Structure 1
Amino acid sequence: SLTKNTAYMYMADGIRTNCIAPGGIVTEIATSMGVPNPAGYGRIKPVLDCAPAPGSAEEIAAAALFLASDAASYVNGVILPVDGGWMAG
C-alpha cells in the first residue's frame, strides 16, 4: 500500500515510486557464522532444498536500473519481486 500511495501522491510531479523485493542474495554471511543450531537448521533445510538459486547483487542492480530507465516509464507503484521465481510458486 505504501508504494501505491506514495506513487499516487507524486505522480503529478513525474516521480515514480516502485519497490524491489529481493529473494535470496549471494552473500558472505555464512562464512561469519559458526556451526548452525541443529534445531534452527532442521527447520530451514526443507525450504533451502526447494528454494531457487540465490541471486547476485548485479541481478538486483539490473532490476533497479530497469525501474529507473525510460523503458519502465509506465511502471509506477509496483513491488517487483526479484527472487528467481520464488513468488511464482
Structure 2
Amino acid sequence: MLKTTEVRTTVYHVVTGLMRESNPEAPEPTGGEELNTLGLDSLTLARLIIELEAATGVDPFSEDVVLSDVRCLDDLVDVYERALAARGA
C-alpha cells in the first residue's frame, strides 16, 4: 500500500498515461485542471479509478466520497490521501 506522500506521484502518473493513450502529446498535468478538461471520457475515468484502487489499495468512493464531487486533479489526490490516512498508512 502506498504512503500518503506517494499518492500525488501515482495519481499524476496514471492520469498522464491514460491521457496519452488518446493524445500522445498531452501535457503533464499540474493539478489544478478540472477532470473534464483532461480528455478523460466516462470509460477512461472508470479505468482511472480502478487503476488507482489497485495502486493505492483503497477505494475512497466506497465510503462517504462521491466521484461527482471531485472536480480537479488535486481533489482526486486529496481523496486518496485522506482514504490512506484513514487506514493508518
Normalized against structure 2, the TM-score is what?
0.31
Going by fraction, where is helix more abundant, 1 or 2? 2
Going by fraction, where is strand more abundant, 1 or 2? 1
Normalized against structure 1, the TM-score is what?
0.31
